[in-house]
Amino acid sequence: GAGVSQTPSNKVTEKGKYVELRCDPISGHTALYWYRQSLGQGPEFLIYFQGTGAADDSGLPNDRFFAVRPEGSVSTLKIQRTERGDSAVYLCASSQRSTGKTEAFFGQGTRLTVV
């Protein structure tokens, strides 16, 4: 595709449920990033993949959050036992190399609401 695609665009779930958020990066981009953005805040880093491996997962808030990128392309962010505080927009970005040196391309985000 032409850009980074995230699905679903909106997700409403009940507290305690499990959710999966999908990111389809730009073809050929080896770096993939997940961020979380709350209202009025900037994107907050969660996890970064270089290829298939998680190069940095220091931003994951706790062990309820997990992400995979098994074939080095599509990534899935998984949240177990969701809590109301997990409600936010989850953004995915990809870049050709490290985002420090090159621009990052963001998807439109998945708005997660935990009720």
Partner 1 sequence: SQKIEQNSEALNIQEGKTATLTCNYTNYSPAYLQWYRQDPGRGPVFLLLIRENEKEKRKERLKVTFDTTLKQSLFHITASQPADSATYLCALAPNSGNTPLVFGKGTRLSVIA
44 binds partner 1 (CB under 8 A): yes
Q: Which residues pair with 75 in a beta bridge?
A: 23
Instruction: State which residue, 79 or 93, has the beta carbon closest to partner 1.
Output: 93
Binding track, positions 62-81, relative to partner 1; x by CB under 8 A? --------------------
Q: Which residues pair with 53 in a beta bridge?
A: 50
Q: For residue 93, give Cα distances in angstroms to 1, 12, 13, 114.
A: 14, 22, 24, 23
Question: Which residues have CB under 8 Å from 2's CB, separation 6+?
Answer: 26
Shortest Å distance, C-beta 49 to partner 1: 10
Instruction: State which residue, 12 or 17, has the beta carbon closest to partner 1.
Output: 12
Instruction: State which residue, 31 or 77, has the beta carbon closest to partner 1.
Output: 31
Q: What are phi and psi of 46, to 5 degrees?
A: -115, -60
Query: What is the contact surface with partner 1 in residues (CB under 8 A)?
Result: 4, 31, 33, 35, 40-45, 48, 50, 55-56, 59, 91, 93, 97-109
